[in-house]
A and B are shown apart, each in its own frame.
Chain A
Amino acid sequence: MKPYRALFRIRFANSLQYRAAAIAGLTTQFAWGFMYILGFAAFYSANPYAFPMTFQQTVSYIWLQQAFMAMFFMWNYEYSIFDSIESGSISYELVRPMDLYSRWFTTTTANRLSRTVLRCFPILIVAFILPAPFRMVLPAEAVRIGLFFISMVLSLGVVVSFSMLVYISAFFTVNSAGTRIAVGVAGDFLAGGYIPVPFFPDALRFAVELSPFGAMQNMPLLIFNGGVTGDALVRGLLLQVFWLVALVFVGRVLMSRALRKVVVQGG
């Protein structure tokens, strides 16, 4: 465990260095968040009852999503991993006495966390002090905040273990750009990155909620804004645990199979 903790600390400190980039990113995210909210506001003013969530819930959803974007969105890949597979420098990693899966899992998690830490607080603070219709509100019950954090950790695990599958697929395809983009976009869409999952047509919504995509950003965001309660909430959390375990298991199996016949291109 100790080397992974060290690795985690290194990656974490490393990404914290890019503070200017984080500030530039912040402005971007504010603007995006506002445009999304204004766009939804236009729909709500047409008919406020046609959506399964109130406008206030949608506003909270979008601000949280912007604040934790680095954590939840699939396209936040760890590009150095793809590079190491494509360039062959993976061979250095293979001779290290560390389990490769855990190693990648650790670095990916550390990077996502550090980027989030840099970005989330300013967004959250501003989102809480904005004028009324655009303000984010805390859930009424304190227990929801606790559940939100638990669900967020699980969802980070699911996102990371899912992107591990994409990294591993690079062993088989050599040039992974296409898979990367396609899986990233499809995943983010199904996870509710473009429009919240409750806005999907019913059949698709049902399927997504059972799939690993429903166990990503969908759960914590809906727990926070009150979009999911009672039995559905418990079931959602259990599904998150299930997918996390299942994805890690599949990832490990695939990885050991890939490593058995890895061919390092010389040079």
Chain B
Amino acid sequence: MRLYMKFLSMHIKSQMQYKTSFVFTTLGQFFVAFATFLSINFLFDRFDYVGGFSYEEVLICFAVMMMAFSASELIGRGFDRFPAMLGNGSFDRALVRPRNVIFQVLASQMEFSRLGRFVQAVAVLVYAIPRSGIYWTWDKILTLTLMIVCGAFLFFGLYVLYAAFSFFTTEGLEFMNVLTDGGREHGRLPFGVYGDGVLKFLTYVVPLALVQYYPLLYLTGRTDNFLYALTPIAALLFLLPCYVFFRFGLRHYKSTGS
């Protein structure tokens, strides 16, 4: 952990060397999130409800997913860039060092400009929380925290899976974007509104709905079953196959030789 903090401060310092560039990239990231926010806004100009959810409830959804995503992107950037690491051979260097491989991949890249999105999500959450008509008791606060934290871990797991795939393909796989970027982009609406098929897929295969839709039902008082509030924890199980697959890929790793 101490070593990780060292890397953290190292990355902060190096990115702060180019301050204007950092500010502009962060602003750019802010815009990316803002465009999604605006499109929700424009749609709700014409509607009060979608699939029975109000504007404020949808905003909570959007903010939670955006926060979880940008947090995981900030930390897990190394896995996002992993195909490049395999391609240029710098992964071989990581293998010969006497440290955990996953730790080294994590520490190799951090992207602080993603804070631009995070800040935006926080702002939206601050706006939506008092207006959502939710009576905030401790269990609801716990639910919201679980959604964000477990959501971040889930996205992180997807990054690891993406990296694991690239052991076999060397190139990054674009279709993984559907799950990561798609999860963020389409997670602005509660997954329930996309229909049964999509919801089942996102419950049993890639459990994105477990950190978004089900706890949201509890949060907004649509169900009293406290188990719904705990579904984000179940989503963490997804990390296990991701990790195993990564180890499996690692065992089959052949250097590109450059």
Contacts and interface: CB of A to CB of B under 8 A. Distances in A.
A35 B182 contact: yes
Contacts of B193: 38-39, 42
Given A180-B28, A189-B39, A28 B178 contact: yes
A39 B195 CA distance: 9
Interface string A176-214: 011111100110110000110001110000000000000
B28 A181 contact: yes
Contacts of A182: 24, 27-28, 31
Interface residues of B, number: 38
Contacts of B45: 201
Nearest to A41: B195
Contacts of B171: 20-21
B177 to A, nearest CB: 6
Most chain A CB atoms below 10 A, which of B38, B175, B195: B175
A4 B171 CA distance: 32
A39 B189 contact: yes
B186 interface: yes
Given A38-B194, A177-B24, A189-B35, A28 B47 contact: no
A178 B28 contact: yes
Contacts of B46: 47, 50-51, 199
Contacts of B175: 24, 27-28, 31
7 contacts: A38-B198, A43-B50, A178-B25, A179-B24, A182-B27, A185-B35, A199-B46
Interface of A: 20-21, 24-25, 27-28, 31-32, 35-36, 38-39, 41-43, 45-47, 50-51, 175, 177-182, 185-186, 188-189, 194-195, 199-201
